[in-house]
């Protein structure tokens, strides 16, 4: 008998990454939500949920202020997580796959550019 393959959820993947990878994952989710907002294939209820979750993250008015260490950022991530999850449920799978592919290709290009920039250190950035 073969054992079932466990598919890791977004939160499982997020908890098993380094801090840099976690920041990239959160940034990817925000970028995905903005692509879903711009897509004409996404129904308006999904667009409302996506816009509200993005607006909350960037809003100066929040339940827990962001200047409070750790907790202030955790509520932003929680709202983003719930908003992304609900938006994914409300979005047709074809539109979601298309926007995810656009987001992945854009981030692969950006990460390549960031890595090239990190490799070309200036004279003041070289280790002592």
**pLDDT tens, position by position, 29-78:** 888 989 999 999 999 999 999 999 888 888 888 878 777 888 888 888 88
* Contacting residues for 56 by C-beta, under 8 A, at least 6 apart: 62, 76, 79, 83
Work out the angle between the directed axes of helices 44-58 and 71-90 (0-180°, nearest 10). Answer: 170
Q: What angle do CA 117, 119, 124 make, to 5 degrees?
A: 85
Can you tell me the distance from the alpha carbon of 45 to that of 1, in angstroms, rounded to the nearest whole number? 43
Q: What is the pLDDT of residues 5-38, one digit of tens each?
A: 455 565 555 555 577 777 778 888 888 989 999 9
Q: What is the pLDDT of residues 75-126, one digit of tens each?
A: 888 888 899 999 999 999 999 999 999 999 988 888 888 778 877 765 444 4
Can you tell me the distance from the alpha carbon of 65 to that of 59, in angstroms, rounded to the nearest whole number? 10
| Nearest of 24, 3, 5 to residue 14 by alpha carbon | 24
* Contacting residues for 71 by C-beta, under 8 A, at least 6 apart: 64
């Amino acid at each position: 008998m073969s054992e079932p393959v466990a598919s890791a959820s977004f939160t499982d993947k997020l908890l098993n990454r380094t801090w840099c990878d976690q920041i990239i994952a959160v940034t990817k989710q925000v970028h995905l939500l903005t692509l879903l907002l711009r897509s004409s294939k996404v129904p308006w209820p999904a667009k409302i949920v996506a816009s509200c979750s993005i607006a909350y993250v960037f809003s100066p008015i929040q339940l827990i202020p962001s200047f409070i260490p750790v907790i202030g950022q955790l509520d932003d991530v929680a709202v983003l997580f719930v908003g992304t999850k609900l938006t994914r449920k409300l979005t047709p799978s074809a539109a979601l796959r298309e926007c995810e592919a656009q987001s992945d290709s854009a981030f692969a290009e950006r990460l390549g550019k960031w890595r090239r920039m990190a490799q070309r250190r200036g004279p003041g950035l070289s280790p002592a």
